[in-house]
Structure 1
Amino acid sequence: MVFGATGGIGKVVAHEFAKAGTSVAIMWRSKKDDAEALARDIEATGQRGSTHRCDVTDPVALKSAISDAIAEHGRVHTMVWAAGPLVEQVLISETTREQWYNAINTEVHGFFEASTGLISHMKEMGGGSFVHLGSAGELRYPERDMLSVTPKAANESLIRGIAREEGRHNIRANSVLVGVIEAGMFLELTKQGVFGEHWVEEVQKGLALKRWGQPEEIANAAIFLASNKASYITGQQISVAGGYGI
């Protein structure tokens, strides 16, 4: 089950999971055409792809979408959280209440509702895993990125809590800390002129690997954490950020 599966990173994650051999429940909010196209791509790999419309800020709709996905597939073994709004780059002191509440409602309340909505199902099925796509800002704070970093930091605590409390039920929870990836929000904000030449120079100074990451590299880490190869790993973070923060 991939939330935010029609986003720039989310759709690659969903497709790579299918290529790795699993069916995928595509959780989408506003991009119906993209969701249906992704489902067709997944079906082309030989796996089942289902689409489920939900607004993660609406608990009733979210619960219904999760139930529909479980009915469609029988079992959800992994939930990947790739959902999130396009994040405006503003100083904390200039952040509006509307921007703050939108970020928290989507990222934190949405993740809480989605994860708690699946825990009981995973218990009944004998286990499962959560993979949260977090932020490399957890390692080193990137100026003006508070609306992304702070909500995801709250979710990091939830991930550790799930790992600690639900491990006895064979439920694991881990995070992939996402760096600058050539997809989704980074490309959109670059197109809008938010990330200019100076920004690129400054960010690359902080990278050990002097290039931007690719969405497939996020998918590879997520698939590993969801797989039996990571069966004794929980409550951990894998940074896929080119050495940012070292």
Structure 2
Amino acid sequence: MQEMFSNGAVLIFGATGGIGQHVAMEFAKAGADLALIWRSKEDVAKNIAAQAEALGRKVSIHHCDVTEDGAAARALAEAAEVHGRIHTLVWGAGPLVDQVKIADVSTEQWKRAINTEVNGFFAAAQASVLHMRDNGGGSLVHLGSAGDWKFPDEDVLSVSPKAANESLIQGIAREEGRNNIRANSVLVGVIEAGMFLELTKKGHFDETWVKEVHKNLALKRWGQPEEIGHAAVFLASNRAAYVTGQQISVSGGYGI
């Protein structure tokens, strides 16, 4: 039986988020060793590490603020030193974003979204590509937004940065395939974890909103965070060895 992953570890940015925690555990369950990135939630990173280690996985945790120049590359180098090789980069980092109309977005809000999600991803992706070129290839998995297919009102601060990253994923897939490096995206729908739950607590999503969103869903339920993990694991694994430059929308059929 083919191994799901080659030697090394998966490096996960955003591992301590509501969705990221479940993504990390799905990789651990699938047999991957983990390098977990944390910015402000060291306790969560340690908890995930303990759970994954209980499954027999080798786990390291690394502090990184992706908005700092050179930080992503340093974190990758630290992880590679522990694990010998990083075979997969999973990018799920991002701030909790306000729901606001495009015309009302402030310069500060826009710069924060772009600096974290676009500039941060570029830095992590570039460092990963350079590492993977020297280590037999690898894969990048970007956690994007189902809004890339059907734009939801007031979600510009989440959807637009991720849409920019989709273009970068295409570029990496095109340019780096010759180096056995693949790049794909999981488009994340409304998931009962992370940002959706946080914004619900703040009163952004009322009953009317729920009814309207359900009209756009083929499957009349919210997604579960482990379902994002299932797609990410597949795209990163050797079972997807001939898949690159693609998007899997895990969104209950949103927008079809």
TM-score, normalised with respect to structure 1: 0.99
Given residue 197 of structure 2, which amino acid in structure 1 is its aligned partner?
A: L
Given residue 94 of structure 2, which amino acid in structure 1 is its aligned partner?
A: G
Counterpart of 1:168 (choices 143, 160, 178) is 178
Given residue 185 of structure 2, which amino acid in structure 1 is its aligned partner?
A: S
Shift of 1:62: 2.1
Matched residues, number: 246
Shift of 1:49: 1.3
Q: Name the CA distance, whole Å, in 2 between partners of 1:118 and 1:222.
A: 17
Shift of 1:231: 0.6
2:84 matched residue in structure 1: 74
Secondary structure at the counterpart of residue 24 of structure 2:
helix
Shift of 1:65: 1.3
Shift of 1:59: 2.2
Secondary structure at the counterpart of residue 130 of structure 2:
helix
Structure 1 unmatched runs, 5+: none
Shift of 1:163: 0.1
1:86 matched residue in structure 2: 96
2:232 matched residue in structure 1: 222
TM-score, normalised with respect to structure 2: 0.95
Which structure 2 residues correspond to residues 82-121 of structure 1 after superposition, within 5 A? 82-121=92-131
Q: Name the CA distance, whole Å, in 2 between partners of 1:219 and 1:228.
A: 16
Q: Is the 8 A contact 2:70 2:123 kept in 1?
A: no
Secondary structure at the counterpart of residue 86 of structure 2:
coil
Q: Name the CA distance, whole Å, in 1 between partners of 2:108 and 2:54.
A: 41
Q: Name the CA distance, whole Å, in 2 between partners of 1:10 and 1:88.
A: 20
Given residue 73 of structure 2, which amino acid in structure 1 is its aligned partner?
A: K
Given residue 142 of structure 1, which amino acid in structure 2 is its aligned partner?
A: P
Q: Name the CA distance, whole Å, in 2 between partners of 1:170 and 1:218.
A: 24
Q: Name the CA distance, whole Å, in 2 between partners of 1:66 and 1:37.
A: 21
Counterpart of 2:20 (choices 10, 20, 27) is 10
1:158 aligns with 2:168: yes
Q: Name the CA distance, whole Å, in 2 between partners of 1:220 and 1:191.
A: 27
Counterpart of 1:127 (choices 114, 118, 137) is 137
Given residue 12 of structure 1, which amino acid in structure 2 is its aligned partner?
A: H
Q: Name the CA distance, whole Å, in 2 between partners of 1:134 and 1:160.
A: 13
Shift of 1:41: 0.9
Q: Name the CA distance, whole Å, in 2 between partners of 1:98 and 1:80.
A: 27
Secondary structure at the counterpart of residue 77 of structure 1:
strand
- Per-residue displacement from partner, 1:51-101 (whole Å, max 9, x unpaired)? 000001112222221111010110100000010000110000110000000
Secondary structure at the counterpart of residue 59 of structure 1:
coil
Q: Name the CA distance, whole Å, in 2 between partners of 1:81 and 1:23.
A: 16
1:213 aligns with 2:230: no
Which is worse superposed, 94-103 or 63-72?
63-72
Q: Name the CA distance, whole Å, in 2 between partners of 1:76 and 1:34.
A: 22
Counterpart of 2:38 (choices 28, 48, 51) is 28
What is the root-mean-square deviation of aligned Cα atoms in Å?
0.6
Which structure 2 residues correspond to residues 190-201 of structure 1 after superposition, within 5 A? 190-201=200-211
Q: Name the CA distance, whole Å, in 2 between partners of 1:141 and 1:203.
A: 12
Q: Is the 8 A contact 2:14 2:92 kept in 1?
A: yes
Secondary structure at the counterpart of residue 187 of structure 2:
strand
Secondary structure at the counterpart of residue 103 of structure 1:
helix
Given residue 170 of structure 2, which amino acid in structure 1 is its aligned partner?
A: R
Counterpart of 1:140 (choices 142, 150, 153) is 150
1:44 matched residue in structure 2: 54
Identity among equivalent positions (%) equals: 66
Secondary structure at the counterpart of residue 158 of structure 1:
helix
Shift of 1:239: 0.4
- Per-residue displacement from partner, 1:131-177 (whole Å, max 9, x unpaired)? 00000001100000000000000000000000000000000000000
